[in-house]
Structure 1
Amino acid sequence: MTDHTHPIFRPGYQRYLGPNSNDPKTYKYQPHSRPIFSSPFGPFVDTPEDLNVHDFCFPPNQPLVEPDYDLFVNAVTDEKVTLHQFKRRVDALSRVFRHDGPNPLKLRPSPVDDKGPEGGEILGLFSWNHIHYPMLAHACFRAELVFGGISPASTPYELWLVLRKMQITALVLHESLIPVLVEALKLGREADSQSRLRLVLDVKKVMVLSDDSGLDAVQNYPTIESLVKIGERIPEPNPPRKLKGGNKLCYLFQSSGTGMQGMITATQTARFMDMEPLSAPMRLLGVVPAYHSYGMILWILRLNSSVSTNVMMKKWDLELALKTIEKHKLTHLFLVPPLVRQLAQSPLTEKYDLSSVVGAASGAAYLPPDVAYALAKKLPQGADAPVPSGYGLSEAASIASPCAPGMFGLEASLPGTIGYLLPGMEGRVVDPDTGKDVKKGEKGELWARGKVVTPGYFMDKKATDEILVPSSSTDDSGWGWKDGEVWLRTGDLVMRDEQDRIHYLDRLKEMIKVKGLQVAATEVEDTLLDCPEKLVRDACVAGVDNGRGDGSLNVRAWVVLTDEGRELGDAEVGRRLSQYIEARLSRHKWLTGGLEVVDSIPRTPSGKMLRREMRDRYHARLKREAKSARL
């Protein structure tokens, strides 16, 4: 059981400083040419082997900060949840969710990993950003109930796929999404060509997150509010349970961690700038989706680490965001590149008072330098402090980020770089074809190692083996890695410069970033091949330049037609396939880059599809056409 006297449970910012933490003023990071390079911040802070996320955020036997303050606020209705209310509600709901308590929902124990017999309770969270979403997550942590976030933009078909892929047995969904679930259930319980897994959702374990706190049920499904009321009548066990955590399965991401890296970074930056760490109250714009790894860090994994009020938006609305910044005097904007560009370019920003904003930051996708400077000019920070862009993946939520110039003797990380490795991270740049380390200044795939790296893909050993490469004692950097630790193949092409800064160059994997959201090329390909009219014999999907320079891509498909498809003709096939995609998949997965009929899809001798070649051919053709048009 967790030792609650461990230093990680100390009050204040000292908990984020271990005995091996580097002093931000006196320590000077020394760049080098060895293949493995490490974070200037030093190793990760030591944590108990069985640390539970809820205990990390709310250390046992520590009183909550006084006076109480608003933790979550609804940007539209102004409904609020204070820190103290949040903790009481989490405790109540967790008593309902625990399988070893009164258990009114008849929940089973959750799996501890995906290597044992199939089965066990896994809760899906299918909702927009909501002031009670983080409560659901922390109730699951405290109940040791495994959960997974699901995009609220999912179509019925996508929801059906995800419910089976995650093996969801119980579900909490926002009331507005009930029709999506109803349609998804009509697709049946059997596996299809994209998955060997059957639907295992128990409809008796469906719960509703309602905007009306007075409702106990919606369409005969119990509301979360009604379950909180039940939990308030269940006594806390005496003595209190000691929560388990550590390497147990905790939560599943549908798309692309830990909140501790950000807190270490904030603490060290404040020390460098002669400020009291984590002392200034923060007011954040809550627009990044909570189901995404980026949102998970912001709205769930950092709770109670400092005084922060999070004003939550259901979905992005430019003018509502500006009104919210002015009304609530927000201090920090956590954004994705398309939102940064909208704020930078819109004349609406001139109508609202943005003087309260201390800083803005971007994540989830590459941020073009011109956009980083353009928004900074509209904020108090000014063009001398361009909007920084962090780097992470669902498989390792936080890997690198710019840091304050001069800290650890580091040079500035200007837009165009993704900065230095974050606390506890190590990296290497590897030739993706040979697996050998490349020299500094040469491009290669970034491999990352650290405690934030995922154990793998749920119930998909093949995919896990493709991205995780075992370490050995021969490539130890001095941080005490053991045989069996792994390197994560990020699938991103980068360059490591002379100062050990990382420059993002391109994407190697088939994931396509569209407005900060991930599109799996294989999902779109499979959907094209599954068209019941059997028009396609082979398909290739890749991300292509959208022409706007905002770092977002368009989804483009190349298809080889069957005899039936050729009889219809290219134009009619394109129309029918586009309609089929738009009826099955979310808008960001639509073929905005077009569809092209080709004679064949290039592949390696082993059969691997060469998506990059198709994309490069397309871009080269666009350049030739543009040049011809100018002549």
Structure 2
Amino acid sequence: MVFRPGPLAGSLLEIPDTVPLCDFRLDERHGRRPIAESLDPFVCGISGRTVLVPQLKDRVDHLAKGLAQHVGWVANDGTEFDKVAVIFAPNTIDTLTISWAIHRLNGLSSPANAVYSAEELQYQLDISRATVLFTVPSLLPIALRAASKCNLNQDHVIICEMPGEPQSSKGFRTVSNLIEQGATLPELDVLRWTKAQGRRQTAFLCFSSGTSGTPKAVMISHYNVIANVLQIQLFEQHMRDAIEPGYRDVTLGLMPFSHIYGLVAICHIAVYRGDSIIVLPKFVFKDFLASIERFKINTLSVVPPIIITMVKNKALCDQFNLTSVRQIMTGAAPLGQETAQEFASQYSNWVTRQGYGMTETATAVTNTSPFDVWLGSSGCLLSGVEAKLLSPEGTEISAYNTPGELLVKAPSVVLGYLNNPKANAETFVDMADGRFVKTGDEVEFRKSPAGNEHVWVVDRIKELIKVKGLQVAPAELEACLLEHLAVADCAVIPVADERAGELPKAFVVKSAAVATDDENVVKQSILKRVEKAKSRHKWLAGGVEFVDIIPKSPSGKILRRLLRDLERERRRDTKVKL
């Protein structure tokens, strides 16, 4: 059975496929909100520095010209894979200016995680075959080590200025230098695109582990991003119209712009519809709250750990004026129903929304309508999306409330993985009714009280724990643990057991309320909480271990793999000593 969008999604019209992203975002001919009606698109939440709307197009054009002269790129020569630039930086107000300047030269932008080590950055540089690297002063030593190992020309390492850091690095060109240089240069040739080139040409190389394995280079076309922007815009327009005609939003730009959530679902959609993005380079709780108050932010686009932090620190939140907030949007990892309900009760004037997507669907597949909020669900399918559920045996599931692996077909589903036929064959499946991407997520379709089909994420299939053949979902136990007053944060992983195969073990960050309490007493209280709430096979028979922090990606996903690796190393060491 194919699940299709309901009435909340709207009807998607034609998606332009001959338009590069730099034009789609900045040219009113392609449906962008008129420049004169737009808010300033990028505002630095640290310094307050603003990129004005009329400046943005000029900055992109001038940077493209300066970059072309500096590195020798010609707009209509070669393919996008001959002009690859990696952006290794935290969020800045120039991040998207850089990407769109690269696109203006028919090049390809590859955003890199700002917490990468030199080895991880080297891997991305190697796979993408980048010849230009943008970074910030604080990350320059890491960038140079990686560039050296890849034999990347050091003159092609370009500095993007950051507030609080040196505004120039001796011996290196800066983004400002290139913009100033480009302002004096002749205009670039107009891009010569053929029919449907936007469907074929890669705009971004974003790195994802997909359903398993090492990070892979995901080829995201111009058409993919444009399609998802139009899908989100269509789904949310009725909400914006209900606020007021011509409504413009001030949204939080905290999610890493190297991650597909920040890149598309925040930056590209906001600029297209004339909103303003308050750019923060990292999550510092008090800075986050102060920015909401200072800039009167309306939409908080976050991940579940931030919502959990707000729930656990309500007293601190109450010290700031958060009355400008209309809604909070969460994604990148599931938000448990219990946590969502607790948060919604604390902030009853806010609409609590959740979406679902992945890098391979660039970005959103579902979204929550404010007219049918079902806390804990990931919302409804966007227009243009078709979905299937497959059982472990590979049969299609047609019933509601029945879990299966989610497969998705949509105009935003990406071109595939670069130079990785094995991963492509495992992830992208040609079926009788089209090409679907296997998400590796176990979900259920359920009908809301209002009668709409909602997607509920059960768990990552590869992360399910098998206890005597019975499945245990880590997310389910984590949601249960977070209800305990002693738990500030947590993660559940499987540990090997000779009798049961696997057992659940919890890593727990204690809350401030029990910081000085006896750890054994706290541990027993946590174990009893799970034993009272869950079936026996879901009990934490693998134990509870207190830690200072739960490892997470910048997008908020728990890095259970790191905890599993740590546990395996410990067990190996124990066997060696014995």
Say yes or no: TM over 0.5.
Answer: yes
Count of matched residue pairs: 471
Q: What corresponds to 2:377 in structure 1?
A: 417
Q: What corresponds to 2:335 in structure 1?
A: 367
Higher alpha-carbon deviation: 304-313 or 286-295: 304-313
Q: Residue 161 of structure 2: which of 192, 210, 214 is its match? A: 210
Q: Give the Cα–Cα distance (whole angstroms) in 2 for the partners of residues 555 and 312 of structure 1.
A: 34
Give the C-alpha shift of residue 111 in structure 1: 7.0
How does 1:339-488 map onto structure 2 within 5 Å? 339-346=306-313, 347-379=315-347, 381=349, 385=351, 387-396=352-361, 397-405=363-371, 412-472=372-432, 475=433, 485-488=434-437
Q: What corresponds to 1:71 in structure 2?
A: 41
Q: Which secondary structure does the structure 1 equivalent of 2:306 belong to? A: helix
Q: Find out whether 1:246 has 2:199 as its counterpart.
A: yes
Q: Give the Cα–Cα distance (whole angstroms) in 2 for the partners of residues 355 and 297 of structure 1.
A: 27
Q: Find out whether 1:596 has 2:568 as its counterpart.
A: yes
How does 1:294-313 map onto structure 2 within 5 Å? 294-313=261-280
Q: C-alpha deviations, 1:460-497, integer Å up to 9, x for none?
A: 1110111111132xx4xxxxxxxxx4111111111122
Give the C-alpha shift of residue 362 in structure 1: 0.5
TM-score using structure 2 length: 0.73
Q: Is the 8 A contact 1:554 1:591 kept in 2?
A: no
Q: Is the 8 A contact 1:253 1:394 kept in 2?
A: yes
TM-score using structure 1 length: 0.67
Q: Which secondary structure does the structure 1 equivalent of 2:453 belong to? A: coil
Q: What corresponds to 2:83 in structure 1?
A: 121
Q: Give the Cα–Cα distance (whole angstroms) in 1 for the partners of residues 238 and 322 of structure 2.
A: 27
Q: Give the Cα–Cα distance (whole angstroms) in 2 for the partners of residues 142 and 300 of structure 1.
A: 18
In the alignment, residue 70 of structure 1 is paired with which amino acid? D
In the alignment, residue 489 of structure 1 is paired with which amino acid? K
How does 1:219-258 map onto structure 2 within 5 Å? 219-237=170-188, 240-241=190-191, 245-255=198-208, 257=225, 258=228
Q: What corresponds to 1:287 in structure 2?
A: 254
Q: What corresponds to 1:96 in structure 2?
A: 66
Q: 1:295 to 1:432 in 2, by over 3 A?
A: same
Q: Residue 117 of structure 2: which of 155, 180, 191 is its match? A: 155
Q: 1:261 to 1:67 in 2, by over 3 A?
A: closer
Structure 2 portions without partners, runs of 5+: 211-224, 466-472, 498-549, 573-578
Q: Give the Cα–Cα distance (whole angstroms) in 2 for the partners of residues 471 and 551 of structure 1.
A: 41
Q: 1:229 to 1:381 in 2, by over 3 A?
A: same
Q: Which secondary structure does the structure 2 equivalent of 1:264 belong to? A: helix
In the alignment, residue 392 of structure 1 is paired with which amino acid? G
In the alignment, residue 306 of structure 1 is paired with which amino acid? R
Give the C-alpha shift of residue 178 in structure 1: 0.8
Query: RMSD value over aligned CA atoms?
Result: 3.5
Give the C-alpha shift of residue 350 in structure 1: 1.1
Q: Give the Cα–Cα distance (whole angstroms) in 1 for the partners of residues 570 and 293 of structure 2.
A: 52
Q: Which secondary structure does the structure 2 equivalent of 1:280 belong to? A: coil
Q: What corresponds to 1:183 in structure 2?
A: 145
Q: Give the Cα–Cα distance (whole angstroms) in 1 for the partners of residues 4 and 454 of structure 2.
A: 10
Q: 1:50 to 1:306 in 2, by over 3 A?
A: closer
Q: Give the Cα–Cα distance (whole angstroms) in 1 for the partners of residues 188 and 206 of structure 2.
A: 31
Q: C-alpha deviations, 1:552-578, integer Å up to 9, x for none?
A: 74677879xxxxxxxxxxxxxxxxxxx
Q: Is the 8 A contact 1:156 1:184 kept in 2?
A: yes
Q: What corresponds to 2:524 in structure 1?
A: none
Q: What corresponds to 1:489 in structure 2?
A: 438
Write 1 or 2 for the structure with the bigger share of helix: 2
Q: Is the 8 A contact 2:379 2:455 kept in 1?
A: yes
Give the share of equivalent positions with the same residue, in percent: 21
Q: What corresponds to 1:86 in structure 2?
A: 56
Q: Give the Cα–Cα distance (whole angstroms) in 1 for the partners of residues 147 and 188 of structure 2.
A: 38
Q: Give the Cα–Cα distance (whole angstroms) in 2 for the partners of residues 216 and 373 of structure 1.
A: 45
Q: 1:151 to 1:543 in 2, by over 3 A?
A: farther
In the alignment, residue 204 of structure 1 is paired with which amino acid? D
Q: Find out whether 1:51 has 2:46 as its counterpart.
A: no
Q: Is the 8 A contact 2:39 2:248 kept in 1?
A: no
Q: 1:422 to 1:164 in 2, by over 3 A?
A: same
Q: Give the Cα–Cα distance (whole angstroms) in 2 for the partners of residues 214 and 157 of structure 1.
A: 24
Q: Is the 8 A contact 1:127 1:177 kept in 2?
A: yes
Q: Which secondary structure does the structure 2 equivalent of 1:45 belong to? A: coil
Q: Is the 8 A contact 2:28 2:34 kept in 1?
A: no
Q: Is the 8 A contact 1:418 1:503 kept in 2?
A: yes
Q: Which secondary structure does the structure 2 equivalent of 1:129 belong to? A: coil
Q: Is the 8 A contact 2:38 2:275 kept in 1?
A: no
Q: Give the Cα–Cα distance (whole angstroms) in 1 for the partners of residues 6 and 490 of structure 2.
A: 29
Q: Is the 8 A contact 2:337 2:377 kept in 1?
A: no
Q: Is the 8 A contact 2:86 2:112 kept in 1?
A: yes
In the alignment, residue 352 of structure 1 is paired with which amino acid? F
In the alignment, residue 71 of structure 1 is paired with which amino acid? P
Q: What corresponds to 1:622 in structure 2?
A: none
Give the C-alpha shift of residue 378 in structure 1: 3.8
Q: Find out whether 1:164 has 2:130 as its counterpart.
A: no
Q: 1:246 to 1:590 in 2, by over 3 A?
A: closer
Q: Which secondary structure does the structure 2 equivalent of 1:183 belong to? A: helix
Q: Is the 8 A contact 1:39 1:420 kept in 2?
A: yes
In the alignment, residue 362 of structure 1 is paired with which amino acid? T
In the alignment, residue 439 of structure 2 is paired with which amino acid? T
Give the C-alpha shift of residue 167 in structure 1: 2.3
Q: What corresponds to 2:71 in structure 1?
A: 105
Q: Is the 8 A contact 2:22 2:103 kept in 1?
A: yes
Give the C-alpha shift of residue 221 in structure 1: 1.8
Q: Is the 8 A contact 1:402 1:420 kept in 2?
A: yes
Q: Give the Cα–Cα distance (whole angstroms) in 2 for the partners of residues 67 and 47 of structure 1.
A: 23
In the alignment, residue 54 of structure 1 is paired with which amino acid? C
Q: Is the 8 A contact 2:10 2:235 kept in 1?
A: no
Q: Which secondary structure does the structure 2 equivalent of 1:506 belong to? A: strand
Q: Give the Cα–Cα distance (whole angstroms) in 2 for the partners of residues 403 and 68 of structure 1.
A: 24
Q: 1:377 to 1:391 in 2, by over 3 A?
A: same
Q: Give the Cα–Cα distance (whole angstroms) in 1 for the partners of residues 454 and 163 of structure 2.
A: 49
How does 1:613-624 map onto structure 2 within 5 Å? none
Q: What corresponds to 1:603 in structure 2?
A: none
